[in-house]
Amino acid sequence: MMEYIPLNFPFLAAALLVGISFYILIFKRNLIKLIMGIGMLASGVNLFLVALGYRAGGNAPIYTDVPEGPMVLPVPQALTLTSIVINVAVLALMLTMVILIYRHTGSLDSEKSRKMKG
């Protein structure tokens, strides 16, 4: 089954996610949608990193009961984990700020809740 999926399929998916999220970031005015866009951007980048770590024929670097053959170096997976943790913090902080903005202005529309111009 695996050989029917082209190897660069994950990369296409990552590019699609990044493209959609940039569309959201530029054209959507709702702050919650903006945050969802950033979440999707993060997923796209994480998917890209994980896809980079795939080596055909490599084994997972788990040392118990290991099959014959080369092991992969798990750096991209470590990067992805770190990146996910950072994004949780970023998204949580953004959501708290949106709650505060809503309390102050009563709106989630980025045009209406803008105080500063010029």
Partner 1 sequence: MTSKKARNSLVIVSLVFVAFLVFALARDIHLNGIHIYTLGAIAPDLALPGGAMVPIRIILEVDGMSIFMGIIWATVSLAAAIFSLSHMARETGQTRFYTLLLLMVAGCFGMILTGDLFNLFVFLEIASISGAALIAFRTRFADAVEGGFKYIVISAVAGLMFLFAVGLLYGQYNSLNIGYLANVMQYGTLDMIALTLFLISLTIKTGMVPLHMWYPDSYTVAPANITAMLVITSHACMYAVFRICFTLYGITLDATTVGWIIIIIGLLTMFVGVTMAVFQTDVMRFMSYHAISQMGYMWMGVGVGLAVLGNPEALATYGRDAISGGIFHILNHAMYKPLLFMTAGALFHRTGTRDLNKMGGLGHNMKFTLILYIIGTLSIAGIPPLNGFASKFLIYESVYQFNPVLAVVAMLVSIITLASFTKAFQSAFTGPQLPEYKDVKEVPKPMLIGMGILAAGIIFTSIFPGLIVERIVKPATDALINQAAYVNGIMGGMP
Q: Check residue 72 and report its DSSP letter.
A: P
Place of tokens 């809740």: 113
The least distance separating partner 1 from the CB of residue 1, rounded to whole angstroms, comes to 25
- Interface positions, 53-72, toward partner 1 (CB under 8 A): none
Closest CA to 94 of 20, 38, 46, 23: 38
Q: Is 2 in the site for partner 1 (CB under 8 A)?
A: no
Q: Is 89 in the site for partner 1 (CB under 8 A)?
A: yes
Q: How far is the C-alpha of 110 from the C-alpha of 107, rounded, in Å?
A: 8
Question: Closer CB to partner 1, residue 4 or residue 27?
Answer: 27
Contact status, residue 53 vs residue 77, Cβ threshold 8 Å: yes
Q: How far is the C-alpha of 107 from the C-alpha of 117, rounded, in Å?
A: 18
- Interface positions, 12-41, toward partner 1 (CB under 8 A): 18, 25, 31, 34, 38, 41
Q: Which residues contact 59 (CB under 8 A, 6 or more apart)?
A: 66, 67, 69, 70, 71, 72
Applying CB under 8 A, among 16, 29, 97, 109 the residue interacting with partner 1 is 97
By CB under 8 A, name the binding residues for partner 1: 18, 25, 31, 34, 38, 41-42, 45, 48-49, 52, 73, 75-76, 79, 82-83, 86-87, 89-90, 93-94, 97-98, 100-101, 104-105, 113-116, 118
